[in-house]
Structure 1
């Protein structure tokens, strides 16, 4: 079993999540083409504060994340404070935990609240797959550094003459794990083969995700938690997620070719989450502060856990490792959950985790536990669709899931909800939420 880090929000005074908001998510190079993540983050945080009715001076801390980081704005959190109308004295720092980034931001603000150093904080994340840090080759980078140290024009020209044409080509951001060279899709393929998950099962889950997400939009379930963003030149304003297939047809999924293992694979673009732009944030505060301010919390953070496992195989099983710890810390079982929201990086990864939740062998051999968590009731699972439909701006997904789950729990009269995700590097996260 991988090492895990856990914190439990079970102290005398609870951590309240009073509001959450996000921008509509957009597929890469569509509505947010050319808009950097920092601007997406500013837009959602500014609107979150305005809607709260709080004075910006009330916000003690902002913790924000970005996975695809831009060199010109390495501390996205501080840039958001300075550009979203918050007080310049608001503490701000950035975090990165791959696809679990905004979960980490939420945990950090919660810890500050539990420690008594913060009363009100904002946590979230933003990412742009359309504005990328395009780099240069290592040869060119080294030459540029050496040229800066050169003392004469002749020395500079000599350095330039050593470069080959291929050294001048731009370098796109890496999509593979630094330590293994494996892409996330390669791991999804491995898990599909290891756990006997068919192409048909993956396509069915993807279709389900789109159908439920389209229904959620049609029924107005997301209206209060999504705000349309207005960016120059103020044309073609996006009001809904543009990846959701409103007329999804199951038979159309089988037409796509495998994306990673071209010969034997089952993971396709249709049963995976796409590259996406977006931002999301939540506001947290001490329970007593919420009462003083007359604010009704969406719900409370009951517990959370982070896990880490090996990256060479089953790297995306993070939910299966983190969830039993979070449930144990919350003092509840899987059956006591009213809702379960799992990040759908790939249909194969999602289905593999569902199998491991119910696997006695996995519980004994990998978790060191006497029994499995149990079978997941699909009537409770990703009831509004998941990341395959909505898209996945890496650092924003956790905040989307938390807000969406809390609002759905309120519509259903309360209860416990689980939000859980895998992340690059063999990381995992699980959070238990409570709505009265």
Structure 2
């Protein structure tokens, strides 16, 4: 192995996504391939990539059909990119988009490729439906039977209960709890008030509405299937409206509602990464650089309150490696899967007792919350699982590019007790 390789800087040079849509609304009749292809084609058009041979395209979907087993490559083949551009599927729950960016960035940093695209897509509307396990076994047996009589014997084993379809369940296999169910436990365990959750949700909607009004998203989004803006955004949201919503998970004593939790969502996003040399050759601006990234995982079966808190550990390790403190940033983008999960993360960082109890060497301290999710985040835009990473990285790159300098902190939690943090600099 060559140990003299120089680690190169990784530039973010482009971004694009389609508007995000609540499940079973604007994108009810389209699927992963159509959405991801639309996001990629928008990127190709914006940055004059028609006919270009890129190093690789990486991305994926959390929920996909069996015929989407080579999803990203199939999407690339439907774009105007050089069809010789290779592609691969990655999947790490809600971290899929940001992990894809880390994958492409590492290849650029090591000199393996000069440019690449990272992205993600998810369709809840076009959810795959499977047959029951017993029916599956009967059908497999019938397929191997050599005569009609043998096939008929298998078919006669079918019972009405075998015909009930199976859909993917939004729950952790080892606990049987959904992310919302786990986060309800988090909110109770860490004593996160309903009022604070609703306030965070309101700020997300108001910040995103203002950003839309100011034109911040004009060059970031390609209209698709009749939709021009994220249709989960509520410009008229008020604290009174949020307070009137009933609990969504714990119907009796819960604090998580449809207003302070992200809904099931359809959408796609992608970002263009490159070496400095490639960007200059193509005449593309360097918006910002990815400089550090870290992944972590936590035990959440016994400690069910910690499912979405892995970024707490990722951040601590990443900041140590970077020689930075949590306060050394101009902007913070913390994925708002649930308001309670964001507020818990901030509370742990601020508390020596909670930091010690969860296993951190020291508390990272408080941040300036006026620098947090300044253009709104997932509670307003919504959350198509694999597409959130590209949306957040794109927003952070644009913020830093418009400022002209600075440093951004990104954090994304995921099912399975995992999480990724990233530092983006200009």
String of CA shifts for 1:192-237, please: whole Å, max 9, x gaps: 00000111111111111111111111111111111112x4xxxxx1
- 1:148-163 maps to which residues of 2 (within 5 A)? 148-163=143-158
Q: Give ranges in structure 1 of 5+ residues lacking alignment.
A: 1-9, 232-236
- What is the Cα deviation at residue 365 of structure 1? 4.1
Q: CA deviation at 1:337?
A: 0.3
Alignment of 1:172-321 (within 5 A): 172-229=167-224, 231=225, 237-312=226-301, 313=304, 314-321=306-313
Quick check: 1:360–1:372 contact (8 Å CA) kept in 2?
yes
Cα distance in 1 for partners of 2:330, 2:60 equals 29
User: Does the alignment pair 1:432 with 2:414?
Assistant: no
> More deviation in 256-265 or 116-125?
256-265
Whether the aligned pair in 1 keeps the contact of 2:295 and 2:311 (CA below 8 Å) is no
The counterpart of 2:406, out of the listed 400, 405, 415, is 415
Equivalence for 2:339: 347
The alpha-carbon deviation at position 328 of structure 1 amounts to 2.4
State the distance in 1 between where 2:309 and 2:95 align: 13
* Distance across 1 between alignment mates of 2:316 and 2:405: 21
The aligned residue for residue 165 of structure 2 is: 170
For structure 2, the residue ranges without an aligned partner over 5 or more in a row are: none
Give, in angstroms, the shift of residue 415 of structure 1.
0.5
Secondary structure (helix, strand or coil) at the match of 2:16 reads: strand
What is the CA–CA distance in structure 1 between the aligned matches of 2:141 and 2:396, rounded to whole Å? 53
CA contact (8 A) 1:49 1:56 kept: no
For residue 11 of structure 1, report the CA deviation from its aligned partner: 6.0
Provide the secondary structure at the position in 2 that maps to 1:341. strand
Are 1:374 and 2:365 matched, yes or no? yes
Q: Distance in 2 between matches of 1:54 and 1:164?
A: 54
Q: Secondary structure at the match of 2:369?
A: coil
Q: For residues 127 and 173 of structure 2, what CA distance do their matches in structure 1 show?
A: 18
User: How far, CA to CA, are the matches of 2:278 and 2:359 in structure 1?
Assistant: 39
Pairing 1:363–2:352 present: no
**What is the match of residue 14 of structure 2?**
19
Cα drift, residue 329 of structure 1: 2.6
1:431 Cα deviation from its structure 2 partner: 0.6
Aligned equivalents of 2:196, 2:360: Cα separation in 1: 29
Aligned residues of 2:90 and 2:100 also touching (Cα < 8 A): yes
Partner Cα distance (2:296, 2:172) in 1: 18
Matching residue of 1:54: 49
Matches of 1:322 and 1:218 in 2, distance apart?
A: 34
Match of 1:109 in 2: 104
Paired residues of 2:18 and 2:267 also in contact (CA < 8 A): yes
- Give, in angstroms, the shift of residue 409 of structure 1: 2.0
Q: Secondary structure in 1 aligned to 2:290?
A: strand
Change (3 A) 1:271 1:368: closer
**SS across alignment from 1:72:** helix
Residue 160 (structure 1) shift: 2.2
What TM-score does the superposition give when structure 1 sets the normalisation length? 0.93
4+ aligned runs moved over 6 Å, structure 1:
none
Q: Which stretch shifts more, 15-24 or 323-332?
A: 323-332
3-state SS of paired residue (1:336): coil
Q: Which residue of 2 aligns with 1:327?
A: 319
Q: Is the 8 A contact 1:136 1:171 kept in 2?
A: yes
Find the aligned partners of 2:294 and 2:415 in 1 and give their Cα distance. 16
Superposed, 1:391-410 pairs within 5 Å as 391-410=382-401
Count of paired positions:
419
Match of 1:284, SS state, is: strand
Q: Distance in 1 between matches of 2:425 and 2:325?
A: 13
Aligned CA-pair RMSD = 1.5
How far apart, in 2, do the equivalents of 1:58 and 1:149 lie? 45
Mean Cα displacement is larger for which, 151-160 or 122-131? 151-160
